[in-house]
Structure 1
Amino acid sequence: MFLLSQPLTDSIEFEGECYQLDLAFDNVLLVFELLEDDLNIFVQVENALKMLIGEDFDFYENMEKYISLYQAVMENIIVKNSNTNVKRDLAGNPMPEPESKKFYSLTEDAEYIYASFLYDYNIDLFDVQGKLHWDKFNALLISLSEDSKFKQVISIRQRKPDKSMTSEQKRELKEAQEVYALEKNQEELEFEAMDWAGKQEYARRHLAAEGGEVYG
């Protein structure tokens, strides 16, 4: 939870140890980009955790511990604390309601986010890399004005044609939605939103259907 009465979180207590975290917004976004890469899920978790705690360790020496630490950081620090009002997935995006679509991606919409921060707050996100805390970034992101490019793009993606619209307006809306459509389909976006356990179960189901096996 984002509370002005409390300092920003920059560490986590886990199994009696305190781990300092690099929660600069750009580092967290790099983690999300890593999680989108077509890598073995264990490699993803290992590299993501090393980026977050800034330490080198033998992941496979105590894999169960480090997987649990990764989950604790993502679920209790990055995702849970990123927004007090909006539930977020492990890719940092708003958690969709059942049967609803996801309307933005922190990675695909990076240009719109950059332009919107500059427009609304006069903040050049490149100038605050390594400085702006992830929680602050999220508080500013969800508060962007409706005049910002980012919010305008989301509005276009969400808009549905109605009876009051002319044929020309419907055509223009369809064209705009095609221009601003996210590249990834809903299945890909939903997979990215899964936590480690969810991805493992997804992989097991698909490999089982193909006669393969997943370990871990």
Structure 2
Amino acid sequence: MFLLSQPLTDGIEFEGESYKLDLAFDNVLLIFELLEDDLHILLQVENVLRLLISADFDFYSNIEKSIKLYQEIMEKIIVKNSNANVKRDLAGNPMPEPEQKKYYSLTEDAEYIYASFLYDYNIDLFDVQGELHWDKFNALLISLSEDSKFKQVVSIRQRKPDKNMTSEQKRELKEMQEAYALSKNQNELEFEAMDWAGKQEYARQQLAMKGGEVNGI
């Protein structure tokens, strides 16, 4: 929860150790881009921890602990609910409920987000890389005006034809939705929406299949 009475999170306590985290919005977005790459899940976890904590983070000294630390950081800090009623997926986007679609992507909609921050807040996101905290970025993102390009695109994706529309209006809506459609298919979105316990269990299974030979991944 975003609370003005509390300082912004800049680290985590885990199993008796303190870890300082780089939570600049651009670093977190880089993590989401990495998680979309076609890498083995253990390599993804390793790279995420090195981006967040340190390039020298020793992932292989205790892989089981590292996976748990990754899950703790993602669940409690990176992908935490900015709204108690909204669940979020691997990429920090609202998690689609059954039969629902995903209407925006932090990576695919980067241009619209950039333009919208500049339009609404006069913030050039390139100028605040390494400075703007991830929590601040999220608070500003969800508060963008309906006049912003990002909100307009999301609205187009969500809009449904109704009986009062003419055939021409329906055709135009369909064309706009095709023009602004997200590229990922439903199977990819369902994998992203896998709960965190499932992600952790999947990583464990992959590790077991390797027989601990992580250096050969």
Is the 8 Å Cα contact of residues 82 and 134 (structure 1) preserved in structure 2?
A: no
Q: Which residue of 2 aligns with 1:60?
A: 60
The sequence identity of aligned pairs, in percent, is: 84
CA shift, 1:204, in A, is 10
Partner Cα distance (2:131, 2:200) in 1: 34
After superposition, the Cα gap between the structure-2 partners of 1:76 and 1:200, relative to the gap in structure 1 and judged at 3 Å, is closer
Is the 8 Å Cα contact of residues 10 and 20 (structure 1) preserved in structure 2?
A: yes
Is the 8 Å Cα contact of residues 75 and 196 (structure 2) preserved in structure 1?
A: no
SS across alignment from 2:79: helix
Partner Cα distance (1:4, 1:20) in 2: 21
CA shift, 1:99, in A, is 1.8
Segments ≥4 residues shifted beyond 4 Å:
81-85, 199-205, 213-216
Q: Which residue of 1 aligns with 2:144?
A: 144
CA deviation profile, 1:110-162 (whole Å, cap 9, x unmatched): 00000000000000000000000000000000000011000000010011101
Is the 8 Å Cα contact of residues 161 and 170 (structure 1) preserved in structure 2?
A: yes
Partner Cα distance (1:27, 1:36) in 2: 15
Alignment root-mean-square deviation, CA: 2.3
Q: Which residue of 2 aligns with 1:41?
A: 41
**How many residues are aligned here?**
210
Q: How is 1:12-161 mapped onto 2 (pairs within 5 angstroms)?
A: 12-80=12-80, 82-83=82-83, 86-161=86-161
SS across alignment from 2:80: helix
Gaps of 5+ in 1: 208-212
Larger mean Cα displacement after TM superposition, 49-58 or 158-167: 49-58
Is the 8 Å Cα contact of residues 25 and 137 (structure 2) preserved in structure 1?
A: yes
Q: Tell me the TM-score normalized by structure 1.
A: 0.90
The amino acid that maps onto 1:119 is: Y
Is the 8 Å Cα contact of residues 46 and 59 (structure 1) preserved in structure 2?
A: yes
Partner Cα distance (2:194, 2:53) in 1: 21
CA deviation profile, 1:87-127 (whole Å, cap 9, x unmatched): 32221101222221100100000000000000000000000
Larger mean Cα displacement after TM superposition, 189-198 or 95-104: 189-198
Partner Cα distance (1:119, 1:19) in 2: 36
Q: Tell me the TM-score normalized by structure 2.
A: 0.89
